[in-house]
Amino acid sequence: SNHCRATAAAAAMHDLEPHLILRCQEADVDPGSRGNLLFARSVGAHVHTCTATEYAKHGSKKLVQTVMDDLVSSGKKPYAIPVGGSNAVGTWGYIEASKELKDQLTSSSSEYAPEHPFPDAVVFTCGSGGTAAGIAQGLSLAFDGSKIPAPKMYAVGVCDNPDYFYTYMSGILTDMGFYAEADLAENFLRANLTIVNGRGGGYAVSSQAELDFVVNFARSTGILLDPTYTGKSLFKFCADVESGKVEIPGPNVLFWHTGGGLGAFAQQESLSSNFE
């Protein structure tokens, strides 16, 4: 989990004790210290695990509450953060980031155009909904009243289906106070954001074509994508554009890399099959 790793680091910076709940394939088996886990454990994270079956049966809220109750019984005062940090509090970060992006785009376009033309579209990964909700609302706000129209927005979901994300994200935006009712938020999202189903073989399940794409992209750009999020989503978006399934308004597309390169190191055997 990129979010868990980043949250563990933030907790360590503020002298807080991070506890992470991670889904694993087998019960009561230590997931080790690869990829994000190496970093998370290096900054002092306590790792709690559950299987996909347990997660589906109990849900994330109950699993978090169970850990919270244990911590409270030991005299601690825990603060719960949902999956991916995708709630009203966590999403504010991408509202601010969207304004920063708009300022960068308008500055570079005016100074360097046409070498750096303004993007026709902005594409980003959607894992739990917070990032996509924040960028969709944030870019709309940033360009409100601007002479330059907002770029078309595309989110590529790497786990659930688009209808789930539209519903969940509308709840986030409503909780943030942007809309009085969730229906209004969902109408906004469906009108301004295209969600592409990039689940593929399933969450954190990579096809060989997706892994090949990650390696080839790194070799051609020097930029590392992670197989679970950015690699899977950009692979799917490019494939859908090439096939005509997704239409973009122009040739200039900005892919918002939301991090997670450390996750690639958890799949070193699969990725290294492409090495010479």
SS3 29: coil
Separation between Cα atoms, residue 131 and residue 51, nearest integer Å: 25
Kindly give the confidence (pLDDT) of every residue in the chain, 276 residues in length, as a single tens digit, with 9 standing for 90 and above.
Answer: 899 999 999 999 999 999 999 988 777 778 888 889 999 999 999 999 999 899 989 999 999 999 999 999 999 999 999 999 999 999 999 999 999 999 888 876 555 455 667 899 999 999 999 999 999 999 999 999 988 889 999 999 999 999 999 999 999 999 999 999 999 999 999 999 999 999 999 988 999 999 999 999 999 999 999 999 999 999 999 999 999 999 999 999 999 999 988 888 888 777 877 776
The residues near 231 (Cβ < 8 Å, ≥ 6 apart) are 206, 210, 211, 213, 214, 217, 225, 264
65 φ/ψ sector (left φ>0, alpha ψ -120 to 50, else beta): alpha
Interior CA angle at 11 toward 168 and 73, to 5°? 85
Give the per-residue pLDDT at 112: 47
**Which residues are catalytically annotated?**
1
Residue 183, judged by CB atoms within 10 A of its CB (0-12, 13-18, 19+), counts as exposed
Residue 6, judged by CB atoms within 10 A of its CB (0-12, 13-18, 19+), counts as middle
Do the Cβ atoms of 260 and 2 come closer than 8 Å? yes
Do the Cβ atoms of 246 and 154 come closer than 8 Å? yes
Residue with tokens 């991916």: 84
The residues near 10 (Cβ < 8 Å, ≥ 6 apart) are none
**255, β-bridge pairs:** 123
Q: Count the Cβ atoms, other than its own, within 10 Å of residue 5.
A: 25
194 φ/ψ sector (left φ>0, alpha ψ -120 to 50, else beta): beta
Give the per-residue pLDDT at 262: 85
Separation between Cα atoms, residue 246 and residue 249, nearest integer Å: 10
Separation between Cα atoms, residue 237 and residue 246, nearest integer Å: 8
Residue with tokens 């939301």: 258
The reported pTM is 0.91
Separation between Cα atoms, residue 125 and residue 201, nearest integer Å: 16
